[in-house]
């Protein structure tokens, strides 16, 4: 099923170039310039044991921090994982759950749209609707499937 939605993310080479700077700013006293929409997710590879410090955009909703991703690092969070995040200049422990089910991810996207309105939610989710209207739940699900999107939910540790 084709959708009127497109995914707008910066090209990966640009992300790779800018991420070290973003990580530095988010860890510094200047973090306030960026961290209303960004945090650093500190993840350990399940097989490699390698540490990853990943700057990601997040959405605050219902007491949780939601991260939309299409990247494969999310496999390290399957089944839940204890992680740390650097947010608002502080490194804190969090519990991460990854949701890769297109139906429930789309339902979460619809809650974001309901809460923030389509214009703001589209920016937060990295989606653009070329039909000039709020997308339907079915269109959101089609976009989740087409762009292989997952939702990482970060909450205080259990």
Q: How much is the pLDDT for 3?
A: 66
Kindly state the DSSP code that residue 108 receives in the 8-state scheme: H
Q: How much is the pLDDT for 1?
A: 46
Q: For residue 97, how many C-alpha atoms fall within 13 Å in the half-sphere facing its CB?
A: 10
Asked whether the predicted pLDDT for residue 32 surpasses 80, the reply is: no
Q: How much is the pLDDT for 60?
A: 93
* For residues 121-144, average pLDDT: 90
Q: Which long-range contacts (CB under 8 A, 24 or more apart) does 19-22 make?
A: 19/54, 19/55, 22/55
The whole-chain average pLDDT of the chain stands at: 90
Rg of the chain over all Cα atoms, to the nearest angstrom: 16
Kindly report, residue by residue over 75-97, the tens digit of the pLDDT. 999 999 999 999 988 899 999 99
Q: Which domains does the chain have, with CATH numbers?
A: 5-155 (2.30.110.10)
């Amino acid at each position: 099923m084709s959708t009127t939605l497109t995914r707008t993310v910066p090209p990966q080479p640009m992300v790779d170039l800018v991420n070290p700077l973003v990580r530095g700013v988010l860890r510094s006293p200047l973090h306030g310039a960026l961290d209303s929409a960004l945090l650093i997710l500190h993840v350990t590879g399940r097989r490699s044991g390698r540490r990853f410090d990943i700057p990601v955009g997040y959405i605050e909703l219902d007491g949780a921090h939601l991260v939309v991703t299409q990247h494969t690092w999310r496999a390290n969070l399957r089944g839940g994982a204890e992680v740390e995040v650097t947010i608002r200049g502080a490194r804190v422990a969090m519990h991460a759950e990854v949701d890769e089910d297109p139906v429930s991810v789309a339902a979460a996207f619809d809650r974001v749209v309901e809460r923030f309105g389509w214009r703001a939610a589209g920016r937060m989710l990295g989606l653009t609707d070329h039909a000039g209207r709020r997308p339907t739940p079915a269109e959101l699900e089609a976009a989740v499937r087409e762009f292989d999107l997952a939702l990482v939910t970060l909450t205080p540790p259990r």
